[in-house]
Structure 1
Amino acid sequence: MKSNKRKLTGICLALTILFIGFSSPVQNYANIPDEIRILENDHYEIQPSLPIKIYVTSGQNEQVLSLNGNETLAEDLVEVNLGKPLKIEPKDIGEVTVEFRLFGYVPLRSMEVNIVPDRDLIPGGESIGIRSGAGEVIVTDHYFLQTQNGELSPAKEAGIKAGDSIVKVDGQKIRDIDKTSKILENTLEESSSINITVRRNNEFKKTTVESRYCNELQKKSIGLYLADSSLGVGTLTYIDKKNNTFGALGHSVSDFTNRDGSFRDGRIVNARIVDIEEGKSGKPGQKRGVFVEEDQPYGKVEKNTDFGIFGQIEDEQVDTTSVNKKSIGLIDHVDEGEAEILTVLEDDKVERFDIEIKRLMPQNSASGKGMVIEVTDEELKEETGGIIQGMSGSPIIQEDRIVGAVTHVFVNEPTKGYGIFLEWMLYEAER
Structure 2
Amino acid sequence: MIGEGIRKLIGCILLLSIFFVGYSTPVQDVISIPNEITVYEGQQISWEVSSTRIGDFSTKTENEKLVTNITTSTNNRTGTTSITATSKEANDTTLTIEIGNFPIKQVQVRTLPELKILPGGQSIGVKLNKEGVLVAGYHSVKSSVGEESPAIKAGIEVGDLITKINGNPISRAVQVEEIVQEAGEKNDILKIVNKEKKTIFIKRVNPFKK
TM-score by length of 2: 0.45
Q: Which structure has the highest helix share of the two?
A: 2
Q: Which structure has the highest strand share of the two?
A: 1
TM-score by length of 1: 0.25
Instruction: Indicate the structure whose relative CO is greater, using CA pairs within 8 Å and at least 6 residues apart.
Output: 2
Higher gyration radius (CA): 1
